[in-house]
């Protein structure tokens, strides 16, 4: 671990804190103080103990899965069951060009980039300026600026402004049907592409399906993805 690295401080399964290592800074919780300077030179996975000796945590290498659990929420986010399902059904793989809107808290964006690395590209669109700015900052801190283009724009009113270059589209918007015509133009025109519209309400799903069919999309299917843990 070096100064400037992002680590996920793993306290327990419910409690993970993303920290950018800045020698001179400290992380404090009720079990004591942890000096970032003590993290430098440790291997990822190391256990560090608080100055009181009462607390400890592990310093994990960030992954999209850990980031989803640790990120600062600005919005509802996608979690692993949906992320895995959508990634599989969109058939995301290295080299693909993907459109996403809205960016939200960037939870899914991180997973998308891992699937399409090293030479794919993610175009993500978010109309809320502060959310867009925060996501842009995090993508830069995580070394993703080259693979992600984030545009602050209303994807429904102003579209994606992309033509004939995209393999897959993911819409997590209140009114995804308003972005479908623009998504259609963005797809590579000479091959099959896939679109996923993620909505919590059946009325949204119905409107989306109607517009998908009107726009000529085929094989329109709806899934509800539930996770049940067995203790």
Report yes or no: 19 and 7 within 8 Å, Cβ to Cβ: yes
**Which of 69, 92, 144, 173 touches ligand SAM by CB under 6 A?**
173
What contacts 81, CB < 8 A, 6 or more positions away? Answer: 225, 226, 227
Q: Site residues for ligand SAM, window 142-171 (CB under 6 A)? A: 154-156
- Whose Cβ is closer to ligand SAM: residue 1's or residue 70's? 70
Three-state DSSP class for 66? helix
Q: Which residue is at the shortest CB distance from ligand SAM?
A: 102
Judged by CB under 6 A, does residue 128 bind ligand SAM?
yes
What contacts 191, CB < 8 A, 6 or more positions away? Answer: 167
In angstroms, the CA 31 to CA 181 distance is 54
Q: Site residues for ligand SAM, window 189-208 (CB under 6 A)? A: none
Judged by CB under 6 A, does residue 177 bind ligand SAM?
no
Binding mask 33-72 for ligand SAM (x = CB under 6 A): ----------------------------------------
What contacts 96, CB < 8 A, 6 or more positions away? Answer: 115, 116, 120, 167, 168
* Beta carbon of residue 48, minimum distance to ligand SAM (angstroms, whole number): 29
Taken as a whole, the chain contains a residue count of: 231
| Residue 133 annotated in ligand binding | no
In angstroms, the CA 95 to CA 93 distance is 6
Judged by CB under 6 A, does residue 101 bind ligand SAM?
yes
Contact residues for ligand SAM (CB under 6 A)? 75-78, 101-102, 104-108, 125-128, 131, 154-156, 172-174
């Amino acid at each position: 671990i070096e100064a400037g690295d992002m680590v996920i401080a793993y306290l327990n399964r419910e409690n993970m804190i993303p920290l950018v290592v800045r020698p001179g800074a400290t992380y404090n919780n009720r079990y004591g103080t942890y000096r970032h300077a003590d993290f430098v030179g440790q291997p990822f996975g190391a256990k560090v103990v608080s100055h009181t000796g009462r607390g400890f945590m592990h310093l994990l290498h960030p992954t999209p899965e850990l980031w989803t659990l640790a990120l600062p929420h600005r919005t509802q986010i996608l979690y692993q069951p949906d992320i895995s399902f959508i990634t599989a059904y969109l058939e995301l793989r290295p080299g693909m060009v993907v459109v996403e809107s809205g960016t939200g808290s960037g939870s899914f964006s991180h997973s998308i980039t891992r699937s399409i690395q090293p030479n794919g590209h993610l175009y993500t669109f978010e109309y809320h300026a502060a959310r867009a700015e925060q996501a842009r900052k995090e993508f830069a801190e995580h070394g993703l600026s080259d693979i992600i283009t984030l545009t602050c724009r209303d994807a429904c009113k102003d579209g994606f402004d992309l033509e004939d270059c995209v393999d897959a589209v993911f819409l997590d918007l209140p009114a995804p049907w308003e972005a479908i015509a623009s998504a259609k133009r963005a797809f590579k025109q000479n091959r099959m592409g896939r679109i996923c519209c993620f909505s919590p309400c059946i009325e949204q799903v119905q409107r989306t399906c109607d517009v998908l069919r009107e726009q000529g999309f085929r094989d329109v299917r709806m899934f509800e993805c539930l996770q049940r843990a067995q203790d």
